[in-house]
Every structure is written in structure tokens, then in C-alpha cells.
Amino acid sequence: MRKLSLLILGAAIGAGGATMVSQTSLLSGMSAIAASADTYRQLSLFGDVFEKVRTDYVEKPDESKLVESAINGMLTSLDPHSSYMDAKSFRDMQVQTRGEFGGLGIEVTMEDGLVKVVTPIDDTPASRAGILANDIITSINDEPVQGLNLNQAVDKMRGPVNSSVTLKIQRKEAKDPVVVKLTRETIKVRPVRARAEGDIGVLRVTQFNEQTYDGLRTGIEKLTSEIGADKVAGFVIDLRNNPGGLLDQAIMVSDAFLERGEIVSTRSRNAEDTQRFSAKSGDLTKGKPLVVLVNGGSASASEIVAGALQDHKRATILGTRSFGKGSVQTIIPLGGNGAVRLTTARYYTPSGRSIQAKGIDPDIEVLQDIPDELKGKDETKGEAGLRGHLQNGGDKEERGGSSAYIPPDPAKDKQLLAAYDLLHGVRKGAANTTMTPN
């Protein structure tokens, strides 16, 4: 049985299998042959159109681009998450899911057309070279950054390990630009950030890549040691604006807090391909209370974790309704020609819920105070707002997006503050037992 990596994505799902020959299957096979004949006629039509474009279009077209566009058009017509990735896009996706790459160790953003350093990552070439937050990168290897988009600038800073790159930096306090030559190293993305807030451990999970579970486990161990195992009041798992990632990592993160029971099931077109994933004994927090934060930007793998912990009453889900992406994509490599991202299954929470185009409703809804300039712009469309999304029980049962705003100042973050209050009000080892859900 062939195994393909799933993105939601991640664990493998079987493709193919044995079929028992019977009168029914023979008739089905004959229907399939008839359908195939009609399909081949349509493919012949495609060939005719392709040839006409190739020979008669006003300018000579790039034939490979024509084929790629046709493939992508076919896939994107299925649903918003199926697509074709060319070789470069496939490599970029692999870098993202591995969570490590050859680079400098700088988190950057685009501001007013300039690449601005958010922060250098500790113990990386950037931090050792003295690059600071708010530095403006004006050129990379003597090529001006102005005019590049953020992805293009990032691509230029990444590269083979042990290769060098020269950055020109404008620093607020300095009159003259600073020129820094750095040697690229293997940089690991930090998908989990851990910090203590008094007797509460806060674990901010930003994505589900290959490093997520290890980062979570390390974070829990660090916080337990820092606060003291007997003094920890509980943990906040912050999944807000986490777009998802690898399915196997979502399963492992859920399992980190569960002793037993189903975590998630995936169901494809063929019933025999249904898979169920269950927890193994061992709760990394030793039963400490949990609050999981979600909002309109929490999607996919984030919703698997929230749904599993909610169904098992292991955590209180707090915030606003999640995005509602309840499908699984399989990444199918095409040799050296990129890959196909194809929706192959829906997933269901332990209680059998499909959250497709519905999202997860929090146990306790807490709305942020939205700045006037962002009002009306803070809500995501949600899965239900995406054209061509998979249906789930009809439009009347579907739910749109919710606010995805998080205040930059933690002191004004009403959802985070509510999580602290909740944890300080629950008994040790309890989950959601002291507040009435909305």
C-alpha cells in the first residue's frame, strides 16, 4: 500500500487496495469504461484547444506554463485547497513543513516597502553579528531590496549552509549604513514559544511543522521546572491565528495532554480508507488544567487539537469561533515536476463532528476590543466564505468566520487575561468545571 504525506496535513493515508470481483463490480467496471471513453473525448478536446493556442496565439506562449495552468485550473475547480505546485513551490512547502533551512536566523516583515527585522533568533548568525530588532535591510549581496516583495527578499537571504551573504543595514541611531557579512547555518523555525506568567505556563503554537511536538514537550518541561511542578496552576495553549500544518503533529500535540481515547478520524470517499488515531497513555502536564485559545485564524491542524481536547473535556476552549477547515490534503510528488495538493478526506473530532465550514465554537466566547481603524477588517471569511468549499449539511448549518485580532500589548489581550483568570479559578487537575459555557 502506497503511503503519501498528508498536509493539513501529514500522516499517511493508503492509496489503492484489493477489490473482490463480483457481478456488481463487473457492472461497475463496465460503467467506468464507458465513462472513461467520454473522458478521453474531452481530453482530445483539450488537445485541440492547446494546439490552437500554441500555433495561433498572438505571441508565442510558454507551452509548459500552459500545461501547468491547465492542471492548476482543474485542481482549483475542485475546492479552495487543491492545487498544483511547481518545483519551486514544492521545495518551499517542504522547507516550511520541515521547519529548518539554510539561512541567517532573522524574523523579518515588510513595512512601507522595506524589509524590517522583527527579531534575530538566539544563537544564529544574525544574533551573533549584532543585527537588532527594527533594523532595515536595504540590500542583499549589493542588490537593493527596494522593489522586492517579502518572499523574494527571504529567498535571497536563504541558501546553502556554509555559503555567505552580505547585508547592508540602516539603523535608526546610525548615520551610515552597517555592512555585515554572514555565513548561513541550519536554522530551525520555532513553532512553539514558551513563557511563564506567574504560576501559569503559556505555550504559543504558531504552526504545525516537524518541530512542533518536540518544541511543545521542551516548553512544558522548561516551564514546569521554572515555575515548580507543585506550583503550576495550569497551561494556556495559544492556537490563535495558527493556520495549521502537519496532521501527525496535530495528533502528537493532542496526545501530549490525553491519556486515552480517539483524537481524530479521517474519512475519504472509500469507507475502507477510514483511519482513526487514538491517544497513548501519558499526559505531559500531569493533568494540570488547560485553556486553549482559538479565533477566526485558527484553522485545520489547530482545530483538530482544539476539537480533541474539547470533546474529551480535557481543556476549556476560549476565544472566538475557529476557521472551519475540516478537510485533509495529500501531497503527491510528481518526480521533478512539482507536486499535486489534493483534498482526499474529511476529518472528524472524537465525538464524530465534522467542523467543515462550521468551525469550533469556544466553550467561553471572549471578544477583543477592536481599534476603530480595524473594525470590520478583523474578521476572517472562514471556510464557509471560500468559493467552492466542500459543503457540510447545507448553507443553513454553515458558519462564517470570526475575529482574528490579537492586541499587540498582552496587557490588553482580553482572551489571554480571561484564560489567566479561569486557570486561577479552577481546582488542580480540573478542566472546564467552574464556568458556564456560552
Question: Is the domain of 161 the same as that of 226?
Answer: no
Distance of alpha carbon 186 from alpha carbon 160, whole angstroms = 9
Of 156, 171, 188, the residue at which a domain comes to its end is 188
Residue 22 lies in a domain: no
**Per the residue annotation, which of 156, 188, 288, 325 is the catalytic one?**
325
**Per the residue annotation, which of 311, 363, 378, 413 is the catalytic one?**
311
> Could you please report the per-residue DSSP string of 330-376?
EEEE-TTS-EEEEEEEEEE-TTS---TTT----SEE------GGGTT
Residues 412-434: tens digit of each pLDDT: 999 999 999 999 995 433 344 33
Of 188, 204, 238, the residue at which a domain comes to its end is 188
For residue 426, the model assigns a pLDDT of 52
For residue 109, the model assigns a pLDDT of 84
Respond yes or no: is residue 181 known to be catalytic.
no
Question: Is the domain of 154 the same as that of 290?
Answer: no
Residue 308 lies in a domain: yes
**Interior CA angle at 203 toward 201 and 208, to 5°?**
160
Distance of alpha carbon 96 from alpha carbon 151, whole angstroms = 13
For residue 144, the model assigns a pLDDT of 92
User: What integer is the mean pLDDT of 354-366?
Assistant: 96
- Average pLDDT of the chain is 87
Residues 334-343: tens digit of each pLDDT: 988 899 999 9
Respond yes or no: is residue 325 known to be catalytic.
yes
pLDDT reading at 333 higher than 50? yes
Question: Is the domain of 183 the same as that of 202?
Answer: no
Question: Is the domain of 173 the same as that of 269?
Answer: no
Question: Is the domain of 184 the same as that of 211?
Answer: no
Distance of alpha carbon 208 from alpha carbon 251, whole angstroms = 10
**Per the residue annotation, which of 5, 82, 254, 300 is the catalytic one?**
300
Question: Is the domain of 159 the same as that of 228?
Answer: no
Residues 136-156: tens digit of each pLDDT: 999 999 999 988 888 889 989
Residue 108 lies in a domain: yes
Distance of CA 306 to the CA centre of its chain: 14
Question: Is the domain of 265 the same as that of 377?
Answer: yes
Number of domains present in the structure of the chain: 2
Respond yes or no: is residue 31 known to be catalytic.
no
Question: Is the domain of 249 the same as that of 322?
Answer: yes
Question: Is the domain of 273 the same as that of 339?
Answer: yes
Residues 47-94: tens digit of each pLDDT: 999 999 999 999 999 999 999 999 999 999 999 999 999 998 898 888
- SS3 category, 68: helix
What is the domain range of residue 332?
A: 192-424
For residue 131, the model assigns a pLDDT of 92
Of 133, 157, 188, the residue at which a domain comes to its end is 188
pLDDT reading at 405 higher than 70? yes
User: What integer is the mean pLDDT of 239-255?
Assistant: 96
334 against 34, higher pLDDT: 334
